[in-house]
Chains A and B, each alone.
Chain A
Amino acid sequence: MNSTDPPSSDAPEGFDADGYWSANLKVLSVLLLIWFAVSFGASILGADALNGIKLPGTGFPLGFWFAQQGSIYTFVVLIFVYVFAMNRIDRRFGVSED
């Protein structure tokens, strides 16, 4: 974003649009990195290597577990973390809907 962009008509007085957007992008990058790491990383590219190890206490080869269980659990957690993080950012920048 640069200073020539028209401001949002919904934004409060003195809203820091650049700060808000970069805080949002920071949250997105971290969460999408984890999203990529558990699915494409651990479950696909690294599956063969991880299959040599068993998930402790179970019969799951680790790569297989990530592909059929672990990645899905992680996805669910990622979205709820996102909800929590964005609600905080919204309040911090004064654009929360509450």
Chain B
Amino acid sequence: MDVKTWTFLIVGVTFALYICIAIRSRAGSTRDFYVAGGGVPPLANGMATAADWMSAASFISMAGLISFKGYDGSVYLMGWTGGYVLLALLLAPYLRKFGRFTVPDFVGDRYASGTARLVAVVCAIFVSFTYVAGQMRGVGVVFGRFLEVPVEIGVVIGMAIVLLYAVLGGMKGITYTQVAQFCILIFAFMVPAVFLAIMMTGTPVPQLGFGGVLQGEIGDRIANGETISLLDKLNGLHAELGFAPYTSGSKAVIDIFCITMALMVGTAGLPHVIVRFYTVPRVKDARLSAGWALLFIAVLYTSAPAVAAFARTNLITAVEGAQYAAADPSGGDGVTTPDTKVLPDWFRNWEDTGLIAWIDKDGDGRVSYRAGAAFEGKLAFTTGPGDEAGRGSHGERLVSNAPTPGENELYIDKDIMVLANPEIAQLPNWVIALVAAGGLAAALSTAAGLLLVISTAVSHDLLKRTLVPTISERNELIAARIAATAAVVAAGYLGINPPGFVAEVVAFAFGLAASSFFPAIVLGIFSRRTNAAGAVSGMVTGIGFTAAYILYFKFVNPDANVEENWWFGISPEGIGSIGMALNFLVTTVVSRMTARPGDEVQALVSNIRIPAGAGAAHEH
């Protein structure tokens, strides 16, 4: 069977599975809809949290990002896992004991303030929307690339599926589809990773092969008779071609420090992750499910850097110095010498999809891969993907961009590292189809979790707790479903017509979450003295400062976005950690200058600090 048939089959089966789960787990009450009735077992919640957390970016882009950044890419690995330690130790058990439905619920009740609740609602909706647009786009891209349907139709199909299980089942439907989606995405990520590890390093465990010696089918060819570890070889290749060493950083230490901190704290402050811990029966289950969640996430997050190093080594050795087309295709005698090294077939396939491009600057018909950009600006081909006419003298697709003076002739999109792996390792067609289904599972599970946060923020925080407190249970549930539908449609629209800034903003959602929610929640639990005036001024200062710094360097004056202009050498990606520190400072100082919170709040703090009674706590 060809790739397309396999893809339709596997994607079709997984979608049918999601729909079956949706029909079996309809929500009957607002409690079902918001927190799956509070009865999710910790192991299942761990899987659901892992799928909720790992988005299209984790699945498709992260390994590629690390592949190009080497050590500097570690910020994502540590940032997106270390946050779970903060979540498990500082937030999850206490929020579970508190036992309401949302993050703004906690902020509003703990600070006994409608203003604090409203600030939290606005932050939650803003953070979730920027995030979800990227997911819908990811769904569209996977459909476009693997099933050859237009991106717009891909987004609409994705919307229809999410709509079905998010609107029918709410959190209950989402939880059990996320469990299924986790299994699919982790299997789809690990199969090519294991094959690649065997072929490059002769061991089926990517995490071990990563530090091992080059051997096996591809590894032997690269090592060329030498006994050399993969990482030593990779560092050697980098030095040869003028790239920074793979295993040590080129960014300033302070910037690495601040970016990692912002990502960790931001992860712990993301509402769609926090809300998952409201769905388990007891406080001890909340703690345990954070452990399961991180264990499941770590499977992918420790394999991804190994895949990154495998793919990088393989890529460099496959393309550097290779001829685009065999010099004498008709009269070849079949003898290969270094002079007749030719680009592998996958190069042309991905050139057609626009993820890779080559400009023959020196006219020798061979690829020179060096540090630096190959050409100016955003890639633009002069002809369509399959066109035979209008190609370069070697058969390559020509680009209209102006070449840079540097020696590098190659453009490579980072996403290719995961998407092309099955082809690079010459795996069977069903593996390629599996990667497509895995990418879709990753994107859909995250999108559904975010959409639920948005609809809950509208129906519960805004309507029930702020505008119409008298709303009946039945009407609140209807409102939640309408809000979920509206959110899906809005997200789909953003997926089809992505505003240019979405990709930029998603990366900053962490900084914004770190500088707003995290201090307000942590201080609300650990400091009795913190009051509404402190929390509100802290959140506003933190998110205001962080947003202003990011807006200035990214949108107002992007030309100034270089290290010399950054405060203390901290990039906009890392500024959230300074925003968080400011928030902590302002909250504490303002709280000391104003009145201590009253007895009712103190009793609430006493209650959330002990696990006993969590079962009763949600009988509000």
Footprint of B on A, CB under 8 Å? 1, 5-12, 15, 17, 20-21, 24, 28, 31-32, 35, 39-40, 43-45, 47-48, 51, 55, 58-61, 63-65, 67-69, 71-73, 75-76, 78-80, 82-83, 86-87, 90, 94-97
- How far does the alpha carbon of A67 sit from the alpha carbon of B259 in the complex, in Å? 14
B613 contacts partner chain A, Cβ-Cβ < 8 Å:
yes
Shortest CB–CB separation between residue A35 and chain B, in angstroms? 5
Across the interface, do B291 and A83 meet the contact criterion of CB distance under 8 Å? yes
Can you show 17 pairs from A to B with CB atoms below 8 A apart? A8-B607, A8-B613, A10-B607, A39-B264, A45-B257, A58-B211, A59-B213, A60-B231, A64-B71, A69-B207, A69-B210, A72-B81, A72-B302, A79-B287, A79-B290, A79-B294, A97-B282
- How far does the alpha carbon of A21 sit from the alpha carbon of B617 in the complex, in Å? 20
Which stretch (B8-16, B85-93, B398-406) binds chain A? B85-93
- How far does the alpha carbon of A96 sit from the alpha carbon of B284 in the complex, in Å? 8
Across the interface, do A72 and B229 meet the contact criterion of CB distance under 8 Å? no
- How far does the alpha carbon of A67 sit from the alpha carbon of B74 in the complex, in Å? 6
The interface centre, meaning the residue of A6, A28, A32 with most chain B CB atoms within 10 A of its CB, is A6
Across the interface, do B612 and A60 meet the contact criterion of CB distance under 8 Å? no
Contact of A69 (CB < 8 Å), options: B213, B305, B611: B305
- How far does the alpha carbon of A72 sit from the alpha carbon of B82 in the complex, in Å? 7
**Beyond A58-B212, A59-B211, 18 additional pairs, beta carbon < 8 A:** A8-B603, A9-B607, A32-B85, A59-B230, A60-B231, A67-B74, A68-B66, A68-B71, A68-B74, A69-B305, A73-B298, A75-B82, A75-B84, A75-B294, A79-B84, A95-B610, A96-B612, A97-B284
Q: For chain A, what secondary structure do more than half of its interface residues adopt (helix, strand, loop), or is it mixed?
A: helix
Across the interface, do A79 and B212 meet the contact criterion of CB distance under 8 Å? no
Shortest CB–CB separation between residue A61 and chain B, in angstroms? 5
Across the interface, do A45 and B610 meet the contact criterion of CB distance under 8 Å? no
Across the interface, do B212 and A6 meet the contact criterion of CB distance under 8 Å? no
Q: Which residue of B lies closest to A4 (CB)?
A: B602
Return chain A residues, CB-CB under 8 Å to B613: 8-10
A-B interface, 8 closest residue pairs, ranked by CB to CB distance from nearest: A59-B229, A10-B613, A58-B211, A67-B74, A8-B606, A79-B291, A95-B612, A64-B247
Using a CB-CB cutoff of 8 Å, which residues 52-88 of chain B contact chain A? Answer: 66, 71, 74, 77-78, 81-82, 84-86, 88
Indicate whether A5 sits within 8 Å of B211 (C-beta atoms), given known contacts A43-B74, A43-B78: no
- How far does the alpha carbon of A80 sit from the alpha carbon of B82 in the complex, in Å? 14
Across the interface, do A40 and B288 meet the contact criterion of CB distance under 8 Å? no
Across the interface, do A21 and B609 meet the contact criterion of CB distance under 8 Å? yes
Shortest CB–CB separation between residue B100 and chain A, in angstroms? 15
The interface centre, meaning the residue of B260, B290, B603, B611 with most chain A CB atoms within 10 A of its CB, is B611
Across the interface, do B287 and A86 meet the contact criterion of CB distance under 8 Å? yes
Return chain B residues, CB-CB under 8 Å to A11: 606, 610, 612
Q: Which residue of A lies closest to B308 (CB)?
A: A68
Q: Which residue of A lies closest to B231 (CB)?
A: A59
Across the interface, do B248 and A61 meet the contact criterion of CB distance under 8 Å? yes
- How far does the alpha carbon of A61 sit from the alpha carbon of B229 in the complex, in Å? 11
Return chain B residues, CB-CB under 8 Å to A60: 210-211, 231
Return chain B residues, CB-CB under 8 Å to A59: 211-213, 229-232
Across the interface, do A82 and B287 meet the contact criterion of CB distance under 8 Å? yes
Shortest CB–CB separation between residue A81 and chain B, in angstroms? 9
Return chain A residues, CB-CB under 8 Å to B609: 8, 17, 20-21, 24
Contact of B85 (CB < 8 Å), options: A6, A9, A12, A31: A31
Q: Which residue of A lies closest to B526 (CB)?
A: A25
Binary contact readout B600-620 vs A (1 if CB under 8 angstroms, 0 otherwise): 001101110111111111000
- How far does the alpha carbon of A59 sit from the alpha carbon of B211 in the complex, in Å? 5
Across the interface, do B211 and A51 meet the contact criterion of CB distance under 8 Å? no
Across the interface, do B612 and A10 meet the contact criterion of CB distance under 8 Å? yes
B283 contacts partner chain A, Cβ-Cβ < 8 Å:
yes
Indicate whether A48 sits within 8 Å of B298 (C-beta atoms), given known contacts A35-B85, A71-B78: no
Across the interface, do A90 and B611 meet the contact criterion of CB distance under 8 Å? yes
Return chain A residues, CB-CB under 8 Å to B264: 39
Return chain A residues, CB-CB under 8 Å to B612: 10-12, 90, 94-97
